[in-house]
Amino acid sequence: MDVLNTMVGRGHEQVTMYSDPESGLKGIIAIHDTTLGPSCGGTRMWPYATEQEALTDALNLSRAMTYKSAAAGLHLGGGKGVIIGDPRTDKTEALLRAWGRFVDTLGGRYLTTTDVGTTGRDLEAVRQETQHVLGLDVTLGGSGDTSVMTGLGIYMGMKACASDVWGADDLRGRTVAMQGFGKVATHTAEHLIEEDVRIIATDINEMALDRARQMGVKVVGPDEIYDIDCDIFAPCALGGVINTQTIDRLRCSIVAGGANNQLATAEDGEELHRRGIVYAPDFLINAGGVINASAEIGQPYNPDRSRQQTERIYEQMSAVLTTSRKQEISTARAADILAESRLDSVRRMRRIWRG
């Protein structure tokens, strides 16, 4: 990859790499855009096969965070941290504290929280080395587990899509196929179960499948999930799962889930639109986590305020659906327009102030 040209082409401001031989840390922080405020995004720890794969993930995820915060009305930019390693075997206090020192060198341009492979307990170690951490446990003055509000936001996004497709946002009796049953999917499922939704799920983690079974969720194999006859297909694992190979297999009216960067390419969003499948743009409906974390900034955390703002995802999704229909464009493009219009307006305002 030609890193600098890729950064320029996608609007990235900064990419920083860091290593700590003593702890074994190899990490990357990508800052996409700080027009609206300091960049914010979780730290992901994953056993990437190559450094190229880790860099690509950091670039893609940081850009998505810019759009997520912009669409949600937050005063934050987009950033992402990735650590190359297996969180089950490579994670140590020394590594996490080294990561904290890395984050601290950026002087607040990047605020970190949890993501795939990291937990609230991990943040406590990171916090020993830097103040630029969000999402600590509520007992430590933080906003706690970001997956709770993320799950709520996805549920609200599903209901907004249901209203558009079926004329009512009641999900009772509907079937949702969930690809991945981690923390976010679990919290989403809790809301769905309360509404008597039938859930069919898959995951590569046996503990996640056991949790699903205990909740009364039917479990299928990882590859079977695409062929389930359902009302809503919910990608809740890693990205790129909506692509030319999988779209043909989908048997749903709506795609709405918690995974980041669900579309392998922008064209896949257009293809869903052509086929009449309503897509809930991931950065729009999975914004509950960053909304929750942002509620810590500059004031005591208030869970009611966080919940109210997360519930507005319903309105934002409805607005995107309306734009999609009026302009005859995909929901993916309509959501981009929503985020880009806010970024552009702030940039124009800054140029005016500077004379």
Catalytic positions are 80
Structure tokens at 157: 């996004």
Helix H segments across 172-296? 183-194, 206-214, 244-247, 266-274, 282-285, 288-294
Contact 41, 82 (CB under 8 A): no
Selection from 72, 58, 62 nearest residue 17 by Cα: 58
Pairing of strands 232-235, 175-179: parallel
The pair phi, psi for residue 10, each rounded to 5°, is: -105, 5
Single-letter amino acid, residue 207: M
Contact 7, 1 (CB under 8 A): no
**Longest Cα separation, the chain:** 62
Contact 225, 244 (CB under 8 A): no
Running DSSP on this structure, what letter comes out for residue 260?
S
Distance CA(318)–CA(322), nearest Å, equals 6
Helix H segments across 220-265? 244-247
Distance CA(96)–CA(110), nearest Å, equals 16
Running DSSP on this structure, what letter comes out for residue 196?
T
> What order do you get walking across the sheet with 232-235 strand by strand?
218-219, 198-202, 175-179, 232-235, 254-255, 278-279
Give me the half-sphere count of Cα atoms (radius 13 Å) on the Cβ side of residue 230.
26
Structure tokens at 179: 């690809």
Which residue reads 């004031």 in tokens? 299
Annotate 301-336 with b (16+ C-beta within 10 A) or e (fewer). beeeebbebbbebbebbbbbbebbeeeebbbbbbbb
